């Protein structure tokens, strides 16, 4: 069969983009789950790469299998009705946690670069995200969401440049990390690898399942998962390398990538800050829409009640975002990761059952054929 390269690129881009949020763009996510473990961060990247391919391909393939079933969720497919329905309730709560992280990140961006009070940036993003949905501007926020991909590319280039500039710092890495141990969300690098893989798989789960239903070729999911995983992990490891080279300068900063941009030039730093702030607004709007839309469908809200829900969610996000950005990442992401790890276990169990049932069916067919011959 001829591969559909356009469809493969589309799947790979979606898989990569789904996991590039404020935590990744700020560098804080990489700092806590990769760089805090020093050289072991590269082993973490390898583990994430393997589990990204496995999880992504499994969810896309599940979507392909469930093409004609528009009611089932990815969690019900892999976990059955009981576990699946529990996940359907839990996921909006986890998304709300992600919304809070994005709001906090927006405040930290303006505070770190412009020295504007953190609360100003957070209020701007909350008000903008609530108004965007109130005025039915979801299509605008989705369009602006493409800026997130541009921000990821800019950060990749910036990180690559500062790696070249700071390559001679490589001899100082091990010494500094040993003398100044960084507090990571989990103590062991292998635990961080599994937990971060869970974060990736959970964040992509329902979206990839839905993408799988729309595929023209089943193989596009397989190759798309591979290329998307390669792109994402490569970007993560480039940022990880840059952080290691400047670890003593950035390990206390909320937005690591602003420091990298400042190393190149003030103009690059200014443009990066603006792009990141707009991307955080867009990502927070889409995340808030996801949460509010689930609630709206569940309870069939009419418009005035929906507006009230948006205001409550926005206000809640504003209050919770008073927790420092880095602290929120270390608190919320591990929780998401644990649910993601359990989802990976469910995926592995379901896949093994499918293989067993296929083998059993083949054995039965073979027995029937032998009986017919005799």
Closest CA to 67 of 221, 228, 200, 229: 221
Angstrom distance (rounded) from CA 27 to CA 32: 9
Does a structural domain hold residue 363?
no
Range of 45's domain?
5-354
The DSSP code for 72 is -
**pLDDT tops 70 at residue 302:** no
Top-confidence residue, 322 or 359: 322
Does a structural domain hold residue 370?
no
**pLDDT tops 60 at residue 363:** no
Query: CB–CB of 221/11 below 8 Å?
Result: yes
Assign 4 to helix, strand or coil: coil
For the stretch 276-298, pLDDT in tens is 888 788 778 878 887 887 777 66
Does a structural domain hold residue 368?
no
Does a structural domain hold residue 239?
yes
Does a structural domain hold residue 359?
no
For the stretch 152-200, pLDDT in tens is 788 899 999 999 998 887 877 767 777 766 788 888 999 999 999 999 9
Does a structural domain hold residue 372?
no
Query: CB–CB of 31/251 below 8 Å?
Result: yes
Does a structural domain hold residue 171?
yes
Cβ atoms within 10 Å, residue 255? 26
Does a structural domain hold residue 192?
yes
Q: 47: pLDDT confidence band, cut at 50, 70 and 90?
A: very high
Q: How many folded domains does the chain comprise? A: 1
**pLDDT tops 50 at residue 245:** yes
CATH number of domain containing 272: 1.20.1740.10
């Amino acid at each position: 069969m001829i591969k559909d390269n356009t469809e493969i690129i589309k799947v790979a881009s979606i898989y990569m983009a789904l996991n590039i949020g404020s935590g990744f763009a700020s560098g804080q996510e990489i700092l806590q789950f990769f760089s805090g473990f020093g050289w072991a961060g590269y082993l973490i990247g390898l583990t994430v790469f393997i589990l990204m391919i496995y999880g992504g391909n499994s969810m896309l393939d599940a979507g392909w299998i469930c093409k004609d079933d528009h009611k089932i969720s990815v969690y019900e497919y892999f976990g059955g009705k009981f576990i699946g329905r529990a996940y359907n309730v839990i996921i909006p709560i986890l998304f709300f946690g992600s919304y809070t992280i994005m709001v906090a990140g927006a405040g930290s961006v303006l505070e770190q670069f412009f020295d504007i009070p953190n609360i100003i940036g957070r209020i701007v993003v909350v008000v903008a995200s609530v108004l965007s949905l109130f005025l039915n501007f979801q299509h605008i926020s989705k369009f602006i969401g493409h800026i997130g991909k541009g921000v990821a590319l800019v950060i990749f280039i910036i990180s690559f440049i500062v790696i070249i500039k700071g390559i001679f710092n490589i001899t100082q890495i091990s010494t500094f990390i040993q003398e100044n141990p960084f507090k990571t969300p989990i103590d062991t690098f292998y635990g961080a690898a599994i937990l971060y893989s869970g974060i990736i798989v959970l964040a992509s789960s329902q979206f990839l399942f839905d993408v799988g239903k729309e595929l023209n070729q089943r193989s596009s999911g397989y190759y798309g998962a591979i290329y998307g995983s390669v792109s994402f992990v490569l970007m993560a490891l480039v940022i990880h390398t840059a952080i290691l080279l400047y670890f003593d300068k950035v390990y206390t900063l909320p937005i690591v990538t602003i420091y990298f941009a400042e190393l190149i030039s003030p103009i690059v730093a200014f443009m990066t800050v603006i792009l990141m702030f707009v991307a955080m607004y867009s990502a927070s709007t889409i995340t808030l829409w996801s949460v509010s839309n689930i609630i709206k469908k569940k309870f069939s809200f009419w418009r005035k009640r929906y507006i009230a829900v948006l205001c409550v969610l926005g206000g809640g996000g504003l209050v919770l975002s008073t927790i420092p950005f880095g602290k929120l990442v270390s608190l919320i992401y591990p929780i998401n990761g644990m649910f993601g790890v359990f989802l990976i276990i469910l995926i592995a169990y379901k896949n093994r059952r499918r293989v067993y049932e296929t083998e059993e069916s083949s054995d039965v067919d073979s027995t029937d054929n032998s009986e017919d011959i005799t």
